[in-house]
Amino acid sequence: MTNSKSSKILFAVMMTILVLITALTVYSVQKLGVANPLVSGWGLARVALAGNAYACVQEEPMVYVALADSAERSLIQAMKERGYQCNPDLKQGSLWVFEDENGREVVRFSVGGYFASWQEV
């Protein structure tokens, strides 16, 4: 009887972990466009706990996260570090346009209650 009870507990724990991982993955994809919840969680932790202004959570397409209250400054700073300048004349809603001598990058900018994200379009 103990073996059966242990099996049921193990099954319940495994199902709980599976449901939690699935929920975190769906949330990560919907909010950030990143399929790996560990990577997006690590990026959010670096911003929230380590005091970083922003963090890159995905390389291709480039996805960044930042705290909501300083997100616009962080976006502009991140793009400046990559050699781009903001072109406010071409901005349309949540789409921001950055230019350098070689071309243009379009970025989708989204702000939530606590965090903001942006990704290249």
pLDDT single digits (tens) 63-94: 999 988 888 999 999 899 989 999 999 999 89
Per-residue pLDDT tens for 19-65? 999 998 998 888 888 889 999 999 999 999 998 999 999 988 889 99
Cα(17)–Cα(63) distance, rounded to whole angstroms? 27
Q: How many helices (H) and strands (E) does the chain have?
A: 3, 6
**Whole-angstrom distance, CA of residue 14 vs CA of residue 120:** 36
User: Which of 56, 60, 38 is CA-nearest to residue 47?
Assistant: 56
**Among candidates 108, 98, 15, which has minimal Cα distance to 61?**
108
Phi, then psi, of 91 in degrees rounded to 5: -65, 135
Q: What pTM was computed for the model?
A: 0.75
Measured between alpha carbons, how far is 51 from 47 in angstroms, rounded to an integer? 5
Whether the predicted pLDDT of 2 surpasses 80: no
